[in-house]
Structure 1
């Protein structure tokens, strides 16, 4: 996943941060954050690090089903901290999605600190699109950003976790390189295929329904299949229009 942030500030050094993003109980992604000049780019790898424990799952009498969709690198372009254009995919179709990210109201009145990747970090908490989150940020690196869509603290965010879902939805920095040589080319936004986030999510949900209908159509005659609406488990659980 690639995140692009333009904050209007000219940075004097190139920085690369490697995060481990625990996306679910069974998958972890590597996400690389690059800070160069007045641009910030974050890349979440399209390859998952599988953490599925089949033996443990079977002992708990769980039935696990995976869909084998293509995984792409997703780009996030930000002209200001809370205005994002996302290059995302539904199937093989590319979309440039406009996302007005809400202001994150951080609470920073905590004494708790933590050392992450060699940097002393301070604690902060907030609510982000329906998830209560905890962040650790370092004032030694004065960058108003972090992994994924997170921003708004007085220093670089090196860790994010969801308070009520400790098994996943977390980002932890494992390495910070403050002398990174920039060699990444930022791809262009295609204005002709822009779409609002709300419309994109509706198209995505419709595609899921179509895929489900295809599976049902191949089931043996007489098979009863019920589809239940699953509660969102991602970090973004509730959007502003819901």
Structure 2
């Protein structure tokens, strides 16, 4: 009986650690440098297991779910574009942290492909003795300079995770709040609960692994020539028709795409990372 009890306890402990914990952050952003009164707010998830964590937009998960159901029930005929527009996100990236190897991977879409890079800059924190309380958690102050911004974070040791939203990690506790010195971006922990497993993210197009510096270059190229990213391989040239209706349609498509990307670039002229 004693052995059975120990086995049951062992299985219970394993099941507990095998679970994934979801932390919901409210992300507040001022992405338009020319209009700081245009404040965007949305939720993002930080899902944490013993092996890794994932940070991504709540709206992305909802969009993925709708698209999956759409594909299963008749494709474009049942596609609700208004619903999808309502789920547009300013958090188009996802970030995975590998706990074992202490690596952080950033993934974002450019055109039809997804680009992935390993973060090559270390986070160096300065921890202060100052403490306060945020919600139910006792928190302590820390600061870091990252991506051209000075960040203040408040972390708690009440939760057994050395992690946080976005690329932030490396403190002796979970980050409950992080905000840059300009007040342009902030992450605030709202709630947490357990989920059975990490959700499956939709993977459209190829995943192209690059260095961070190369991704930044590709990102700038996408802003000026988005249509070159709409062919297989990403960043390649797009052959346009020279005449007839096909050529005209492709010309119209290029113009609409360029206008949309330029509009998005203007609305996202104050990115979370300035350098």
Q: What TM-score do the two structures reach when normalised by structure 2? A: 0.58
User: What is the CA-CA distance between 1:43 and the residue it aligns to?
Assistant: 2.4
The alignment of Structure 1 onto Structure 2 pairs a total of residues equal to: 191
Q: Which residue of 2 aligns with 1:88?
A: 108
Q: Are 2:54 and 1:41 aligned? A: yes
1:103-130 per-residue CA deviation (whole Å, 9 max, x = no partner) reads: 22211123231323x2111111111121
Greater share of helix residues, 1 or 2? 2
Q: Which runs of 5+ in 2 are unaligned?
A: 1-15, 31-37, 61-87, 227-253, 260-265
Matched residue of 1:152: which SS?
coil
Q: Describe the shift of the 1:204–1:191 C-alpha distance in structure 2 as closer, same or farther (beyond 3 A).
A: closer
Tell me which stretches of 4 or more aligned residues in structure 1 moved more than 4 Å: 70-73, 186-192, 229-232
Match of 1:130 among 148, 151, 154: 148
Instruction: Determine whether 1:182 maps to 2:202.
Output: no
Cα RMSD over matched residues?
3.6
Paired residues of 2:51 and 2:98 also in contact (CA < 8 A): no
Quote how far apart the aligned CAs of 1:37 are: 3.2
Contact 1:82 1:102 in 2 (8 A): no
Q: Is contact 2:27-2:187 (8 Å) kept?
A: yes
2:187 to 149, 167, 171: 171
2:131 paired residue among 103, 112, 131: 112
| Greater gyration radius | 2
1:137 positional shift: 0.6
Q: Could you give the per-residue CA deviations for residues 7-60 of structure 1, whole angstroms, max 9, x where no partner exists?
A: xxxx8364221101112242112111112232222221346xxxxxxxxxxxxx
Question: CA 1:100–1:206 in 2, change beyond 3 Å: closer, same or farther?
Answer: same
CA distance in 2, matches of 1:195, 1:16: 29
Aligned partners of 2:117 and 2:211 also within 8 Å: yes
Per-residue deviation at 1:187?
A: 5.5
Q: TM-score, normalised by structure 1?
A: 0.66
What is aligned with 2:166? 148
- Report which stretch shifted further, 32-41 or 75-84: 75-84
CA deviation after TM superposition for structure 1 residue 200, in Å: 1.7
Q: Mind listing any 5+ residue stretches in structure 1 that lack a counterpart?
A: 1-10, 48-69, 219-228
- How far did residue 186 of structure 1 move? 5.0
1:122-180 Cα offsets, whole Å, 9 max, x none, are 111111121111001111112111001000100001110001x11x3110011123xx1
CA deviation after TM superposition for structure 1 residue 191, in Å = 9.0
